[in-house]
């Protein structure tokens, strides 16, 4: 089935027919009126290519690295929750897809496969762990220790979730995990009714919203990031930075990387689409830490625009879920292959043969407002 899909949109359309309403609405929805959800994708169209021609592009090298780990191309799998609603093996399928193509995978804290299961089933995958800071710091530290023991190479700390953004569809559906699934990293603490920790089920909200309200620390501050650095030597990437000011604060706290992200447009509606936020973050950081991007990537041209504007790599979320829903590991792998191949074609048509060249040639990608200002 995956082999019949030739672009990410094909996977999205097919996945919508295969997923039940509870899962589909959870995966696809954004916050409130979903302005930013739409703009995450459409904003890429306002960034225009200015290609070089008459360049030798016979051989193109897409290799890159993230925090010293070599990857075959700068497209990694973002942390997305509850992958087993999409395929039987869920996050294990996603990790296998990444490993088969020599790129990176991030496991969500709210995964339906555990930290240990990824290591057991896909021991060679380049893997990071996405972390929330919990009110009970012991819970957070235990997750960190498990990640360390199981060969995870970095922590991606989500910093834009003091509470869960309002998602209308999840509220309407009273979203809950299917009865056969749980948040595996917290399996001993969850109920059979909704898959979430005991005592958080509500008649008004989704189970996940109640879970976040009960356990996630809304007082999260830079002091907590500094605390994390005292308990682990793993590099820390902060996920959820959208402004130059916040990027400068991150640099002041000596983090290893910034993931420019608006949480898939699922937190605060009306924030900048990530591709529009990226240039100011890259400029502010000025090479003092690595910068990545997620949100709205739907084709290889989007990848090229993000890399040309300074991202070290991009992370894709929903497209991987669509792939899983269509054909498990093979579907997720095909999504990555399509994005990789489209990225390679885009590089050749831009007249560049390496990531370094893509980022160093002046004005290969510019905002259309600059073009219009010349007219």
Model pLDDT, residue 159: 96
Position 109 pLDDT exceeds 80 = yes
Residue 239 lies in a domain: yes
Percent of the chain whose pLDDT exceeds 70: 94
Phi/psi for 131 (5° steps) reads -130, 140
pLDDT in tens, 236-284: 999 999 999 999 999 999 999 999 999 999 999 999 999 999 999 999 9
Residue 243 lies in a domain: yes
Lowest-pLDDT choice from 78-82, 178-182, 204-208: 204-208
Query: Of the residues 88, 253, 263, 367, which is catalytic?
Result: 263
Model pLDDT, residue 199: 41
Phi/psi for 361 (5° steps) reads -70, 125
Query: How far from 183 is each of 114, 188, 190, 191, 290, CA to CA, in Å?
Result: 8, 9, 7, 10, 30
Paired sense of beta strands 47-49 and 365-367, if any: antiparallel
Enumerate the H helices of the chain as residue ranges: 8-18, 21-28, 35-42, 91-100, 115-121, 137-149, 168-173, 207-215, 222-231, 244-252, 274-285, 300-308, 318-350, 355-360, 368-374
Per residue in 128-137, is it b (16+ CB within 10 Å) or e — as a string?
A: bbbbbbbeee
> What number of CA atoms fall less than 13 Å from residue 182's CA on the CB side?
14
Residue 81 lies in a domain: yes
CATH at 83: 3.20.20.70
Model pLDDT, residue 189: 60
pLDDT tier, 200 (very low <50, low <70, confident <90, very high otherwise):
very low
Position 98 pLDDT exceeds 90 = yes
CB atoms near residue 21 (< 10 Å) = 10
Among residues 230, 67, 44, the alpha carbon closest in space to that of 137 is found at: 230
- State the helix-helix crossing angle for 318-350 and 300-308, rounded to 10 degrees: 70
pLDDT in tens, 130-146: 999 999 999 999 999 99
- Hey, is 51 helix, strand or coil? coil
Phi/psi for 366 (5° steps) reads -135, 160
- Hey, is 365 helix, strand or coil? strand
Model pLDDT, residue 207: 63
**82 and 111 Cβ atoms separated by less than 8 Å:** yes
**170 and 208 Cβ atoms separated by less than 8 Å:** yes
263 annotated active-site = yes
Alpha-carbon torsion, ordered 237, 240, 246, 247, to 10 deg: 40
Bridge partners (DSSP) of residue 241 are 260
Residue 354 lies in a domain: no
Q: Which domain holds residue 296?
A: 2-47+69-336
What's the mean pLDDT in 356-365? Answer: 96
What's the mean pLDDT in 72-83? Answer: 98
Residue 369 lies in a domain: no
Total of domains in the chain = 1
Residue 327 lies in a domain: yes
pLDDT in tens, 8-51: 999 999 999 999 999 999 999 999 999 999 999 999 999 999 99
Residue 367 lies in a domain: no
What's the mean pLDDT in 322-341? Answer: 98
- Hey, is 64 helix, strand or coil? strand
The model carries a pTM of 0.94
Residue 364 lies in a domain: no
């Amino acid at each position: 089935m995956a082999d019949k899909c030739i672009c990410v949109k094909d996977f999205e359309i097919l996945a919508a027919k295969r997923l039940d309403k509870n899962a589909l609405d959870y995966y696809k929805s954004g916050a409130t009126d979903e302005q930013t959800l739409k703009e995450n994708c459409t904003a890429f169209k306002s960034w225009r290519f200015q290609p070089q021609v008459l360049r030798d592009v016979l051989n193109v090298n897409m290799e890159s690295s993230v925090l010293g780990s070599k990857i075959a191309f700068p497209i990694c799998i973002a942390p997305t929750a509850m992958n087993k609603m999409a395929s039987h093996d869920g996050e294990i399928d996603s990790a296998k897809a990444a490993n088969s193509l020599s790129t990176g995978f991030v496991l969500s804290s709210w995964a339906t496969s555990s930290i240990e299961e990824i290591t057991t089933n896909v021991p060679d995958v380049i893997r990071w762990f996405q972390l929330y800071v919990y009110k009970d710091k012991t819970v957070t530290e235990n997750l960190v220790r498990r990640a360390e023991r199981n060969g995870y190479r970095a922590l991606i700390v989500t910093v834009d979730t003091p509470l869960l953004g309002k998602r209308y569809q999840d509220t309407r559906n009273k979203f809950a995990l299917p009865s056969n699934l749980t948040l595996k990293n917290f399996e001993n603490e969850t109920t059979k009714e909704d898959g979430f920790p005991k005592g958080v089920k509500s008649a008004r909200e989704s189970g996940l919203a109640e879970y976040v309200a009960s356990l996630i620390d809304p007082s999260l501050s830079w002091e907590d990031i500094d605390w994390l650095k005292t308990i682990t030597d793993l590099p820390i990437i902060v996920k959820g930075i959208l402004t130059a000011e916040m990027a400068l604060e991150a640099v002041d706290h000596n983090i290893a990387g910034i993931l420019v992200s608006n949480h898939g447009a699922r937190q605060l509606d009306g924030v900048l689409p990530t591709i529009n936020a990226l240039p100011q973050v890259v400029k502010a950081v000025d090479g003092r830490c690595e910068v990545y991007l997620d949100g709205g990537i739907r084709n290889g041209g989007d990848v090229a625009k993000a890399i040309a504007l300074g991202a070290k790599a991009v992370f894709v979320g929903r497209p991987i879920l669509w792939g899983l829903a269509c054909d498990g590991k093979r579907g997720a792998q095909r999504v990555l292959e399509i994005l990789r191949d489209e990225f390679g074609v885009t590089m050749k048509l831009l007249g560049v043969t390496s990531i370094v060249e893509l980022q160093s040639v002046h004005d290969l990608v510019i905002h259309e407002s600059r073009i219009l200002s010349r007219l």
